[in-house]
Amino acid sequence: MTETAAVSGAKFRLDGKTAIVFGIGPCLGNGIALALADAGANVVVNARRHEAVETLAASINTTRKGAAAGIAADVTTAEGAEMVLRGAQDAFGGIDIIAYNAYALDAGHNTTFAYDSPFDTTDADWARCFEVNVLAPYRIAKAAVPRMRKGGAFVSSLAAAAFTPILPAVAYGATKSALATMTKYLAKACAPDIRFNAISPSNIENPARPAAMRAAAASYPMARMGTPEEAAAAVVFLASSAASFITGQIIYVDGGRVTTA
């Protein structure tokens, strides 16, 4: 291998970078935050519940003292988003990476699939999904991009429902699809200074997953559920200089569910 073709492992490191993870949780959100911290980034974690952010930040600080801060705020409001962005700057001096993992589902799209039809979706479902899945990341991007250091990265979390119908989650799927389109628009508008990409995880392990989902995973090419670590690794890659020529793209972390359908 020639020297010019070699890829150094250092390109996957995030030492000296500051990352914000919007929408932590026991599955993917926490995994993203932990993976970014493991790669060397300082991490600000966000959710609405104080206990959740304080617990995760404390866990990271156990192994990398002072590397994490937790900020509880509702980022569907401009005030909440500003609190997190300003807090990251105050804590670590700047912003390099944003991972947007917050989401809203149709009220009937849960472990029991309470809705029978997409026509059961209410106006309130549509409004909430649009607010969290589209408008909030747009507002955050609008406020964050002027503050982000050149070479920064914004990575959003999509879902299989954005690309293939998973009934009855019409509002969730449609708004995640809108986020995918917005990612491409912002990638074009903000290049070359800030890169916008997304991951599309599906069938990621979570204690709340119903047995039916695990059974269905056997029919997809990888024939198993994925792990939060596997999905988080894609975020770390997209945030790193190893992906410095990648923008406006989607990485499907779904065991082949969407791309081989």
161-181, pLDDT tens digit by residue? 999 998 889 999 999 999 999
Token pair for residue 22?
A: 């919007």
The separation between the first and the last C-alpha atoms of the chain, rounded to the nearest angstrom, is: 36
Q: How far apart are CA 233 and CA 22, in angstroms?
A: 17
**What is the average pLDDT value for the chain, to the nearest integer?**
93
3 has a pLDDT exceeding 60: no
Which residues does the annotation mark as catalytic? Answer: 172
Single pTM value for the model: 0.94
Mean pLDDT of 222-226: 94
Q: How far is CA 119 from CA 123, 124, 134, in A?
A: 10, 13, 21
Q: How far apart are CA 82 and CA 51, in angstroms?
A: 20
Q: In what order do the strands lie in the sheet with 148-157?
A: 68-72, 42-47, 18-22, 95-100, 148-157, 194-201, 250-253
| HSE-up (13 A, CA, CB side) for residue 158 | 31
pLDDT tens per residue across span 18-50: 999 999 998 899 999 999 999 999 999 999 999
Burial class (CB within 10 angstroms; exposed 0-12, middle 13-18, buried 19+) of 112: exposed
Q: What is the DSSP letter of 257?
A: T
Q: How far apart are CA 227 and CA 205, in angstroms?
A: 5
Helices (H), 72-227: 78-92, 123-130, 136-144, 170-190, 211-217
Give 100's contacts (C-beta < 8 A, 6+ positions apart): 22, 23, 136, 137, 140, 154, 155, 156, 157
Provide the pLDDT for residue 1: 42
Give 148's contacts (C-beta < 8 A, 6+ positions apart): 94, 95, 96, 98, 154, 193, 194
Top-level class of domain 18-253: alpha beta
51 has a pLDDT exceeding 80: yes
CB count in 10 Å sphere of residue 65: 8
3-state secondary structure 49-65: CHHHHHHHHHHHHHHCC
Contact between 64 and 258 (Cβ < 8 Å):
no
Give 146's contacts (C-beta < 8 A, 6+ positions apart): none
Provide the pLDDT for residue 110: 55
Mean pLDDT of 91-114: 83
143 has a pLDDT exceeding 70: yes
